[in-house]
Amino acid sequence: MEAQLLRRPAASCKCLLKPSSSTTSASLPITAIRTKLTASRHRRALNVPPHPSMLLTPSSSADHILFNPPSSAPSVYHTPFKFLPKSDPRRRANLPSLFASSTTINYNPDSTSSSSSTTDLPPVVLEAELKQKTHHLTKEDVEEMRRLREQDPVANTVQNLANKFRCSKLFVMMCCQAPREYRDQKQAQMEAIKNRWGPRRSAAREDRKRRLDMLFRGEL
Amino acid sequence: MKRLRPSRWTGQLLLAGAGSGGRYGCASRRPAQHLVALSSSSSSSIRSQSSAAAAAAAQEEELAYDGTDHERFPPLDRIRPADTSYPSPAPERALQSAKLAALHARLSLSPKIPLQTLARTLVDASADGNPQFNNSNLAFVGQTLINYHVTEWLMVRYPRLPMSIIFSAMQGYAGDKPLHQVARSWGIEPAAAPGGEVDPGLLQFSAHKPGVSLVKFGYKRTEAEYLEKFKWRRGISSRIVFDDDFGQTVKATPGSEAEQSLEQQDGEEGEEGPVPVMQYGNADTRSAAETAHAHAVRATVGAVYAHCGREAVKNFIKSHILSRTLDVSKLFMFKSPTSELATLCAREDFEPPVARLLSETGRASRTPVYVVGIYSGKDKLAEAAGPNLDHARWAAAMNALKAWYLYSPGENVRVPSDMLSEGAKPWEPAHIDIGEVISR
């Protein structure tokens, strides 16, 4: 049994995993794709060798620690290193983490800290989150924005104003509100659209909302 | 300076057993029909009335003789006829109750706690309105001690919990529902109906007639009636100041409203016809049963404190209430977790949080799974899986916030009340957080 396990080193199973080409980012780390054409070949390929710590090598002593936890979601009771308060003894005891999280100290002299951090990390989900906040709008800009929206809500849509003032749509919506008639008109249009929905579509929409509420309550 | 002897303070709990003498000698038992007139009427008239009632009951007993040979078949429980006229069992009958002795032994209570006190913890204010015979004052002491120890432990164990979560966690450890479960696990059984003739080892409460017992701190808000009517918002600060230990509004004088509503109901029903038998287990009776069970547990804690002292009651609360498992991470609910996390990172001077895709599978399929991690700079704060990118991102942000709020200095943290024991090590200041991330 042991010899059979050792005959198949862990590296040989790498043929199973190929980076996916469907997504835009090239550096997507792990995306498993079925490459075997028949079920038996696929099953054979999926016969993954055990974790190295499970194997008894001659070098390891008779009793050693097996650390091979099953893959599972991390517990929220495990506080990440960054969230530990300054006074916590775990923070002082874990110096490597302290240095690794530091952005000022760089142990790799070849590359700058910023480039290494961008290359090592997985791709971002929302590109907008990487943008630095500029806070470039002044009080006069906001008043101008409100005036434009009040004047002609059809031409000055939220999107147009966001493009014009180089801010987010959320900020535009926080600043100004369309005139009452325009809002009522839009509301009526939306009601007409909703009335055209059949039972399936409205039920699906309700379910979606319910799922979102469940997610925020932590039930999903 | 003289040493205080708390065990001597508990003499009043046994007042009926003491018989006569002392300050409470005049508070002899009286039949149920004279409950209201206690303070005004003199004790002599009460006594004469009760003896007359006893004589009448004895006559009735003779009349009801059904031919049973009492020499051969003695009655199982010898109850004096006068006892049946009391609203709750006489304290001296506690010594004969097997259930009470079993409960005492099952809880491993100290022999310092007499069975009479344990019997008194089982008499709810709705069964016996006399505060010298029901458990309301013991329950008040008990709820104070339980809430103190639970709050103190929560504050030290999870120093960053928001106040609303602390309220819910308090409710989860020391509220009526969990204490009801504790009472059930102790084997406390309710009597079918309260009365002087029932076994003192049964919990006695009336599900239909709420009793008047002050077992809570808190103020009655002047705007209380508008809160429910117009759904006014109650801020957390005002909950701390005005409301009870669980952040719930204090109702008007406890019992009075409920009694009034019951009287009104009775009046209406009386006009219509005979009063229908109330079904067992509607919402009102269930809540009354829950409260009565919880008060019994609180009163037991109060009895342990009164007879055995501070350390014993602390161990008792630790082993029976704090030892219960409550998953605090299930109590959270968020509205916009990403912006709350961004606020937190800005406040703590961390880099702004960025969601990154750790792995995915089945993007083109019906059931894709995305694993998204939230990073602040180079550090991963949390990760979560979801069926689409937004859900996974929000779940990851929620996990990051929970990881922040659920920071704990350790499993076995020292609480301030540990310092009250003799020979305690010097106190190291507990971690106090600077406050909540966003105000609710």
Q: What is the DSSP letter of B322?
A: I
| A173 and A184 part of one domain | no
Is A35 within a domain? Answer: yes
Q: Would you give the DSSP letter of residue B348? A: T
CB B236 within 8 A of CB B264: no
> What's residue B64's pLDDT?
56
Would you give the distance in Å from CA A38 to the centre of its chain? 34
Residues of chain B with CATH 1.10.1520.10: 9-51+83-216+254-271+280-329
Asked if A124 and B357 come within 8 Å (Cβ–Cβ), the reply is: yes
**What are the residue ranges of CATH 3.30.160.20 in chain B?**
334-407
Domain that holds residue A202: 180-220
Instruction: Let me know if residue A63 belongs to a domain.
Output: no
Write phi, then psi, for B361 (nearest 5 degrees): -150, 140
**Would A65 be classed as within a structural domain?**
no
Average pLDDT on B170-199 reads 94
My answer on whether A37 and A7 are in the same domain is: yes
CA of A49, closest CA in chain B: separation in Å? 21
pLDDT grade, residue B159 (50/70/90)? very high
Res B48: pLDDT: 36
Say if residues B215 and B298 touch (Cβ distance below 8 Å).
yes
More confident residue, B55 or B8: B8
pLDDT tens across B266-309, in order? Answer: 444 444 445 455 445 788 888 899 999 999 999 999 999 999 99
- What gap in Å lies between CA B290 and CA B297, rounded to an integer? 11
In CATH, the number for domain B9-51+83-216+254-271+280-329 is: 1.10.1520.10
Backbone angles phi, psi at A123, to 5 degrees: -70, 150
Please list the helix, strand and coil fractions of chain A in percent, rounded to the nearest 5, in that order: 50, 0, 45
In a domain, residue A165? The reply is yes
CA nearest B345 in A: which residue?
Answer: A83
The answer for B 318-377 residues in CB contact with A (under 8 A) is: 329-330, 332-335, 337, 350-361, 363-364, 372-373, 375-377
The number of domains in chain A is 3
User: What's the pLDDT at B372?
Assistant: 96
Q: What angle do the packed helices B310-317 and B136-157 form, to 10 degrees?
A: 70
A22 in a domain, yes or no? yes
Contact B309, B111 (CB under 8 A): no
pLDDT at A155 over 50: yes
Find the CB nearest B380 among A80, A84, A129: A80
Question: Cβ A122–B381 below 8 Å, yes or no?
Answer: no
How many A×B Cβ pairs under 8 Å? 114
Interface residues on A facing B, Cβ-Cβ cutoff 8 A: 20, 22-23, 28-32, 73-74, 76-85, 87-88, 100-101, 103, 117, 120-126, 129-130, 212, 215-218, 220
Looking at the domain that runs over B334-407, which CATH code has it been given?
3.30.160.20
Residue the block writes with tokens 């997507």: A28
- Picking from B356, B358, B363, the nearest residue to A23 by CB comes out as B363
- Determine which helix (DSSP H) or strand (DSSP E) holds B356, and give its type and residue range: strand B353-361
Contact A122/B373, CB-based, under 8 Å?
Answer: yes
Domain assignment present for residue A164? The answer is: yes
Q: B333–A88: do the CB atoms touch at under 8 Å?
A: no
Q: Look at residue B128 and tell me whether its pLDDT is greater than 80.
A: yes
The pLDDT tens digits of the residues spanning B328-338 come to 999 999 999 99
Nearest by CB: B406 against A28, A77, A87: A77
ipTM at complex level: 0.75
Q: Nearest 5°: phi and psi at B180?
A: -60, -45
A150 lies in some domain: yes
Interval B387-424: pLDDT, tens: 999 999 999 999 999 999 999 998 889 999 999 999 99
Range of weakest confidence among A67-81, A163-177, B293-307:
A67-81
Residue A151 domain-assigned (yes or no): yes
Report residue B170 CA to chain centroid gap: 10
Q: For testing the chain A interface, which of B327, B407, B413 should be mutated: the one with the most A CBs within 10 Å?
A: B407
Residues A197 and A171 in one domain: no
**Residue B134: C-alpha distances to residues A160, B91, B170, B260, B306 (Å):** 73, 11, 26, 22, 15
Residue in B85, B83, B8 with CA at minimum distance from that of residue B97: B83
User: Could you tell me if residue B108 is left (phi over 0), alpha (psi between -120 and 50 degrees) or otherwise beta?
Assistant: left
Q: Give the per-residue pLDDT at A9.
A: 39
